Structure 1
Amino acid sequence: MSDVMNVRHLTCACGAAVVVAIAVGACGGGSIDVVARVAGVAITRTDLDHWIAVEDGLAPGNTSGKRVVEARALSFLISEQWTLGEGRELGLTVSERRARRETEVLNYERRAGIAFGDVPRAAKRMQVVGSRATEADQVRVVKLELLEAEIQQARTVLAAQGIGHTQVVAYYTRHKRHFLVPEHRKVVVIETPRLGPTLKAKREIESGKDPARVARHVSQGPLAHLGGALQDLVGRRGMRGEGLVANIFRARPRLLVGPLRGDWYYIFEVLHVSPAHEPGLARVEDRIVEYLAGRQASTATRAAEERRWAARTVCAQGYARGCGHGGGGLA
């Protein structure tokens, strides 16, 4: 489902919004306060007014600009019911405790200026509603995003059951270069701000001392906290440029190089090289199945679910615009 403020346009199953008059007795005992129903679940005018205020900062009684955001708010509420309904049918739930914990983390990260991590879509939506929403609104948003992630995972698992070996082989054959494992190098680097200590370290290594041991005692650069040892440095032989990494990938293994001058003086020795190689199909088959299943779950499976829920969605007269957006779909 898309961001609250950027709901994706989607028409209902027959290519247009499903709009009916929902009055007393309609749709199984409706009410004039009901603006839409999803599989019999009512969305009320009260809830819509509240979410308009959350999105746009408007008081429920303020009509200025309300129609502009009304469709977005209704789209969100419809998509929420689609997601909750799909979750129920799949037997998936997200606990209130988990949603509250994630909300607390997201609010802390936002205040601290830290990049959002575990639920980035929820984080994006929180940036929209965070300053206007109540704590309950925030938990509601995060809980919905967590449930959508669970639904997407369930879709992927189901889709994976239909991915055949022939499809995997065909994809691997067409995209072999994407699976290339680049060259990796393990290297010891010793950096010092003055030339003297670098030369002394070089002499110690040439006398037979272990380069990594010397690095731990001598190196003062940014790599000092790693003991001067870089594990799995990724790149390619013949890299252009004169920087440290380019020099490392031009060097022969087990050859002490330097001193050279960068920001500081440095010497280095490449301890081990793992050449670039193409992994066999057996090594990447599970990854390919997961990718193909995820792609199918995000397109065909999702579209079928959206059509199914759109067919179960009706809106009152005057709310065609929000209903026509279809709520942005599931996930």
Structure 2
Amino acid sequence: MKKLLPFAAAGLVLAACGGVPGNSVATVDGDPIEKTDYDHWTKVVKKLSPGIKNDEVRNQVVSLIVSFRWLDGEAERQGVTVSDAEVKKSFDAQKRQAFPKDADYVKFIRESGQTEEDIRARVRVELLGQKLQAKVVKGKDQVSDKAIADFYAKNKTRFAQPEKRDLRVVLTKGRRDAERAHAALDDGGSWTAVTKKYSIDDTSKASGGKLPAQAKGTLDAALDKAVFGAEQGELVGPVKTQYGYYVFTVTNVVAPSQQSLAEAKETIKQTLASQNQQKALTAFMADFTRRWREKTQCAEGYKTPDCANGPKPTPTPRMQ
């Protein structure tokens, strides 16, 4: 809520200066954005971002007021509307969440230089953006059984679980302490007592050496080889690793498993649906940005990558 910025009001006076009225900073589809709007949001951005450089202020403000015009124009083009009741509901919810106390909201309005009308207008544009996005991705969550089966076949390892083993371990800094720990355990000493005396690993030490569910291929290479080559219940060690010397025993073995296509189907469906929706949204955003940039002309001193007559934009389309 504290970052909400409003939709700039349209200018009405036309003057001549490279297609942009003399009292304006830009036009979008021939509709001017007056300098008074730019000046207003310049003050707001500077208050919200103290110390920001002038070039950054210009880029942010022009991008802000221009992109709001783009969204408003695109919504009109696609027949997307937002009611006053929807705006009020969203505004009230965001206000309650961001400012539980009315005094905090009043303070924010005063210190940010914004008006409530400004913020309500920004909420309206946000809702338009959400509805446009919903329209773009509608129906893109449909995924065929064939697509699911193909994905499973190509990514079968993603649905496999490696063998896992529960361990009890003692980790020591030197070999001599590891040998002493091994001897103590071999003589019937308890893991709790031995780890307390010898272990330098605080995590396993606190649980009597327990190290559950260690997956094959995730341990130190030397330890991994020893653990997954050991018999259950066998006391093994010392094993030298980059962390020190281990003495361990395997207390339980969980065999590797493979999810079937039927078991993985729902996960795959959600993955592919999300990919389809993102692809549709990315394509729309690229087209949206291109079309509306072509309709945008900026006056000298106000040119940004959002302007058709501005510097070349970076290939990262976005919709606020």
The Cα of 1:328 is off from its aligned counterpart by 3.0
CA shift in 2, pair 1:271/1:162, >3 Å: same
CA shift in 2, pair 1:316/1:50, >3 Å: farther
CA contact (8 A) 2:169 2:209 kept: yes
**What residue number does 2:306 align with?**
322
For residue 192 of structure 1, what is the amino acid of its counterpart?
T
**How far apart, CA to CA, are the structure 2 residues paired with 1:88 and 1:219?**
66
The Cα of 1:218 is off from its aligned counterpart by 5.3
CA contact (8 A) 2:232 2:250 kept: yes
- CA deviation map 1:202-232 (0-9, x unaligned): 3454456664675467533243245422222
For residue 38 of structure 2, what is the amino acid of its counterpart?
R
Q: 2:168 aligns with which of 188, 198, 203?
A: 188
CA shift in 2, pair 1:210/1:89, >3 Å: farther
CA contact (8 A) 1:24 1:32 kept: yes
The Cα of 1:31 is off from its aligned counterpart by 10
**How far apart, CA to CA, are the structure 2 residues paired with 1:289 and 1:75?**
37
CA contact (8 A) 1:168 1:288 kept: yes
- CA deviation map 1:22-79 (0-9, x unaligned): 64279xxx994463559x99683225645886598335xxxxxx4x874565335544
- CA deviation map 1:232-267 (0-9, x unaligned): 222339x9943x344323333321101334454431
**What residue number does 2:18 align with?**
none
The Cα of 1:274 is off from its aligned counterpart by 2.5
The Cα of 1:269 is off from its aligned counterpart by 0.9
**1:58 correspondence with 2:53:** yes
**1:257 correspondence with 2:236:** yes
**How far apart, CA to CA, are the structure 1 residues paired with 2:184 and 2:32?**
77
| Larger deviation, residues 181-190 vs 79-88 | 79-88
**How far apart, CA to CA, are the structure 1 residues paired with 2:22 and 2:269?**
48
- Aligned with 1:57: secondary structure? coil
CA shift in 2, pair 1:75/1:200, >3 Å: same
CA contact (8 A) 2:26 2:32 kept: no
**How far apart, CA to CA, are the structure 2 residues paired with 1:246 and 1:55?**
57
- CA deviation map 1:71-125 (0-9, x unaligned): 5653355446767998986979572465689xxxxxxxxxxxxxxxxxxxxxxxx
- CA deviation map 1:146-194 (0-9, x unaligned): x89x959968985564122222112112221333322322211112346
The Cα of 1:276 is off from its aligned counterpart by 3.1
- Aligned with 1:323: secondary structure? coil
**How far apart, CA to CA, are the structure 2 residues paired with 1:306 and 1:201?**
64
CA contact (8 A) 1:179 1:279 kept: yes
Q: State the superposition RMSD in angstroms.
A: 5.2
**1:74 correspondence with 2:80:** no
**What residue number does 2:216 align with?**
235
**What residue number does 1:273 align with?**
253
**What residue number does 1:24 align with?**
13
**How far apart, CA to CA, are the structure 2 residues paired with 1:247 and 1:169?**
38
CA shift in 2, pair 1:98/1:221, >3 Å: same
- Aligned with 1:95: secondary structure? helix
CA contact (8 A) 2:232 2:253 kept: yes
Aligned residues, how many? 259
**How far apart, CA to CA, are the structure 2 residues paired with 1:182 and 1:235?**
6
CA shift in 2, pair 1:235/1:51, >3 Å: farther
The Cα of 1:290 is off from its aligned counterpart by 2.0
For residue 162 of structure 2, what is the amino acid of its counterpart?
P
Instruction: State the structure with more CA Rg.
Output: 2
Normalising by structure 1, what TM-score? 0.55
**How far apart, CA to CA, are the structure 1 residues paired with 2:154 and 2:82?**
37
| 1:98-113 matches, cutoff 5 A | 98=97
**How far apart, CA to CA, are the structure 1 residues paired with 2:199 and 2:169?**
8
Query: Looking at both structures, which has the greater relative contact order when contacts are Cα pairs under 8 Å and sequence separation is at least 6?
Result: 1
For residue 95 of structure 1, what is the amino acid of its counterpart?
Q
- Aligned with 2:306: secondary structure? helix
The Cα of 1:196 is off from its aligned counterpart by 6.4
CA contact (8 A) 2:27 2:298 kept: no
- 5+ residue gaps, structure 1: 1-20, 60-65, 102-133
